Amino acid sequence: MNENLENINPKLYKRLNDREITVDEQDEDVADGFDAREIFDIIRNINDPEHPLTLEELNVVEQDLIEVDDKKNRVDIKFTPTIPHCSMATLIGLSIRVQLLRAIPARFKVSVEISPGTHVSEEAVNKWLQL
């Protein structure tokens, strides 16, 4: 099994602490919009297709590479494949897309792209992920 893995020994990254719930967020009368942290929490625990690890643990997704404009209904996510020729890149991008499709309101336009310069077929994968 192991010899079939593309990236046999991926580098592991530290997980973020749980989000602290603020008083306002517990108050049902205060409208709270989506922010990068909330989007990150929705996608951080997606499993990698070939390792029993999450996208966060592999540093494929990072909070800093998520941009959210709640008013303009935009969520822009950049993800970083673990290796530049990762054949799972489209599948990972699609998993992020599907997760968000299910978890956030339909008003959001979600863009999922590869972090610039981190994959050999960056352009083709990005075009495909626009769906």
Partner 1 sequence: MMLQVAMDTLELKQTLTGHRGRVWNVCWHPKGAYLASCGEDKTIIIWGLEGLKWVTKMILTEGHSRTIRELAWSPCGNYIASASFDATTAVWDRKSGQFECNATLEGHENEVKSVSWSISGQLLATCSRDKSVWVWEVNDDEYECAAVINAHTQDVKKVRWHPYEEILASASYDNTVKIFKEDAADSDWSCVATLSSHTSTVWSLSWDKIGNRIATCSDDKTVKIWREYKPENETGIPTPNNESVWKCICTLSGYHTRTIYDIDWCKITGLLVTACGDDIIRIFKEDSDCDPHQPSFTMIYSMDNAHAQDVNCVQWNPTIPGQFASASDDSLVKIWFYNYKE
101 phi/psi in degrees, rounded to 5:
-55, -40
Member of 6, 106, 112, 118 binding partner 1 (CB under 8 A): 106
Closer residue to partner 1, CB minimum distance, 111 or 118 = 111
Position 127 contacts partner 1 (CB under 8 A): yes
Residue from 15, 19, 85, 109 touching partner 1 (CB under 8 A): that is: 109
- Identify which range of 18-26, 39-47, 90-98, 101-109 contacts partner 1 by CB under 8 A: 101-109
Which DSSP string corresponds to 7-60? SSSPPP-PPPPPPPPPHHHH-TTS-----HHHHHHHHTTPBPSSSSSBTTTTTS
Binding segment (CB under 8 A) for partner 1, from list 13-21, 56-64, 78-86, 104-112: 104-112
Burial class (CB in 10 A: 0-12, 13-18, 19+), 60: buried
Task: Pick the piece of the chain touching partner 1 (CB under 8 A) from 35-43, 48-56, 75-83, 105-113.
Answer: 105-113
Q: Which of 4, 112, 131 is nearest to 55 (CA)?
A: 112
User: Which residues here bind partner 1, judged by CB under 8 A?
Assistant: 106-107, 109, 127, 130
